[in-house]
Structures are given as C-alpha cells and as structure tokens.
Structure 1
Amino acid sequence: MSFGDPNNPYGPPQGQQPGYGYPQAPQQGYGYPAAPGAPYGAYPGGMPYGVPMAMPGTVKAARVMLWIIGILQIIAGIALAAMGGTFASEAGLGSGADAAVTGIIVGVGVLVAAFGIWGVVIAAKCANGGNGIRISGIVYGSLATAGGLANLAQGEGRSTVGLVIGILLIVFFAKADAAAWFKRPRY
C-alpha cells in the first residue's frame, strides 16, 4: 500500500490533502490568549499570575542573622544598663562621679538595646516589607561592619564575627534577588 492509495486505512481521509484535517494553529494553553510580547500569563515583574514569589534564600539567611543578633543585643543592652546602676553604686566613687559613670553605662546599654530592637524590627518586616526595609537592612549591616572594624582596631578577637555578619547583611540585602523580593507587587 502506498500513501496515495485510496484504500489505505492509514492515509488521509478521503477528499482531504495530507495535513489539512485538523487545526494547525499552535495551542496557547486552556483557551487563554498569551500576553503580547511576554511569556504566557506574565505581568511586568516577570512572575506568572497567581503564583506567589518565594522569599530568596539570601533574604531568609539575613533574616535569621538579624533575629539572632537583635535578640542577643537586646539582652546585652538590658544587662549592661542594669549593671551600670549597680557598678557605680558599689564602686564607692563620689556622688558626681557616681552619677556620671551610671549615666554613661546605662546610656550605652540603652543604645545597644535600641540597636537590637532595630534589627528585630527589620527581621520581622522582611516577609512583607517594602524597599525601605531592604535599605534599612543595608544601613544596619553597615553600622554593624563599622562596629566590627572599631573592635578589630582595638585588638578584640571576637570582633571578626560582628564584622563578618555585618558584611554578609550588606551583601545579602544588596543582591538583585533581594531587591526583586522587596520591590515585588503586593495586592
């Protein structure tokens, strides 16, 4: 049997030429038209409709670091402020010097606790915050890096941990996937 044989059961139906029996238009998927100039179902952000964007791993890592560092700084700040009051009163310094030392130590403790609260707020807002949270994370990482460098200049060995975490926070928040996460549309 040849293809041109009219009795061929595997040939084209009678009265039609090969390739003309069925629609030849490409299917776009479930009857929805494709967006002009864009992949099927995509909006300008590049993500298909209805598919939520997942938080990038770098943002998750930065968030975990911020939670840990922030909570530790809050605890350290509270402890430092509490110790400031007891240290000055037990040292037996004069009344003027006693108040000055207490004020300085308590002030530093409050500053450390406030820095920790700032880190916890950034970590909490990473899930649905905007680009301002990303910029705040970069500034936080910059200040942590500066603090690590200052401690390193004083010769403290533990300062390398703070320095590395500060640099990682800057890098993680400055990456393109982090920028896309914080600039994503919210409905």
Structure 2
Amino acid sequence: MSFGDPNNPYGQPQGQPQQPGYGYPQQGQPQQPGYGYPAAPPAPAYGGGYAGAPQEMPGGVKAARVMLFVIAGFQIIGAIFAGLGAVGMAAAKNDPMLKDDIQFQQLADMSVGAIWLVTVLILAWGIFAIVLGAKFGSGGNGIRIAALVFGIITAVLGIYPFVLIGLVHTVLAILIAVFVGKADGAAWFNRPRY
C-alpha cells in the first residue's frame, strides 16, 4: 500500500500536497532517535556489585538469626538450671535425712560430674548459636552450612530426649534450617564480598 493509492483508507487525503512517507527523513529537519534497540542501562559504579547479589539481608535470614539468639537464650537458661541441679545434688548427697530415701539414692548414683558435663554442653551449644547468629552478616557459605547442621541437630535433640521441653527448640531449629536453606538464604551467604 502506498500513499498514492486512492483506495487506501490510511493514505494521504485527496487534494492535499504530498508529504514524505512514514519513516523517510525529511530534508532540513533534525533527526530524532528512531525505534530499535533501547539504550543500554548505565554501568554500575566502581564497587557496585553484581546485579543478582542481595544488598540487604533477606527477611528469612534475619528471622533465622533472631531464632538462633532465642535458642541461645534458652540454652543459657537451661545451663543455669542444670548448674543449680548439680549444686543441689552435691549438697543433698551428703544429707543424712536423704540417706534412707531409695529414690534419691538412685538419682544420686548419677555423678555430679556428669551433671556438670551436661551443663557445660548446654552452655557450649548456646555459645555456638550466638557465634552463628553473629556471623550471619559477614559469613559465607560455611556459616550457612553450619547453621543448617545446627538446625538439624537441634531439631533431633529437641525431639528425642526432651519431647515436651524441646518442642520450642525443635520448631525454631526446623525454621532456622528452612530459612537458611531457601534460595534467598543461599544468595545471601554466597554473595560477593569485597
């Protein structure tokens, strides 16, 4: 179809002077940029980072970090109770009134040292949770893997020996493993660091 065709409904109306066709440059007028490829986006400034790397910690990773600190708080409270239990057991072991109590003597057969060992393990697990949470801002993929392992072990330990007390630990640990294991968590821990 051309503009000169009298049957063209989009053509030049009859009786008016002809103008250059669509897409043909006119003589003496400045050119405007035409259609085609758009301009490329500006290059990132020096040290701007990669386009796919998150610049701020994702919400799931922040939540996992908070949950690690909550678990650490519970561990410290548990260590305090276990330490008080060890001190109480050591004091009551030599009580003459409890020498005849069979149930207490069965409980006292467990060494006070074993209770102190459990106390130290509880406290160490809490400190490990604090260190993991503190490293979330600057840590790499190793911190992510350590948090996944921490979450899985904590969930298993929360289920087996401490079914009722460990329920909160189990739920928090599963959420930590899920939030750290998601794609945005992987992107956060694998981001480039300069």
Instruction: Using structure 1 for the length normalisation, give the TM-score.
Output: 0.71
Alignment partners' CA distance in 1, 2:170 and 2:39: 55
Q: Which has the larger radius of gyration?
A: 2
Using the TM superposition, name which of 162-171 and 126-135 deviates more.
Answer: 162-171
How far, CA to CA, are the matches of 1:159 and 1:76 in structure 2?
Answer: 11
Q: What is the correspondence of 1:13-162 to structure 2 with a 5 Å cutoff?
A: 15-16=27-28, 21-24=31-34, 26-29=38-41, 32=42, 43=50, 46-47=52-53, 53-92=55-94, 101-151=111-161, 156-162=163-169
CA shift digits 1:4-44 (9 cap, x unpaired): 469xxxxx996257xx7123373335xx469xxxxxx884x
SS of the counterpart of 2:85? helix
CA contact (8 A) 2:64 2:175 kept: yes
Answer 1 or 2: higher relative contact order, Cα 8 Å, separation at least 6.
Answer: 2
User: In structure 2, how many angstroms separate the alpha carbons of the residues matched to 1:147 and 1:3?
Assistant: 90
Deviation at 1:102, TM superposition (A): 1.4
Query: Is residue 72–residue 125 contact of structure 2 (8 Å, CA) maintained in 1?
Result: yes
Contact between 1:73 and 1:116, CA under 8 Å: does it hold in 2?
A: yes
SS at match of 1:157: coil
Instruction: Give the direction of change, closer, same or farther, for the CA distance of 1:74–1:5 in structure 2 (3 Å limit).
Output: same
Deviation at 1:127, TM superposition (A): 0.8
- 2:172 matched residue in structure 1: 165
CA displacement at 1:126 relative to structure 2: 0.5
User: What RMSD in Å do the two structures reach over aligned CA positions?
Assistant: 3.3
* Distance verdict in 2 for CA 1:15–1:184, change over 3 Å: same
Contact preservation (8 Å) 1:77, 1:112: yes
CA distance in 2, matches of 1:14, 1:23: 14
Q: How many residues align?
A: 162
Seq. identity, %: 40
Query: In the alignment, is residue 181 of structure 1 matched against residue 183 of structure 2?
Result: no
| Structure 1 residues 14 and 66: alpha-carbon distance in aligned structure 2, compared to 1, 3 A threshold | closer
What is the aligned partner in structure 1 of residue 10 from structure 2? none
Change (3 A) 1:181 1:3: farther
Instruction: Tell me the TM-score normalised to structure 2 length.
Output: 0.69
Cα deviation digits, residues 78-117 of structure 1 (max 9, x gap): 44224313322322279xx979621011100000000000
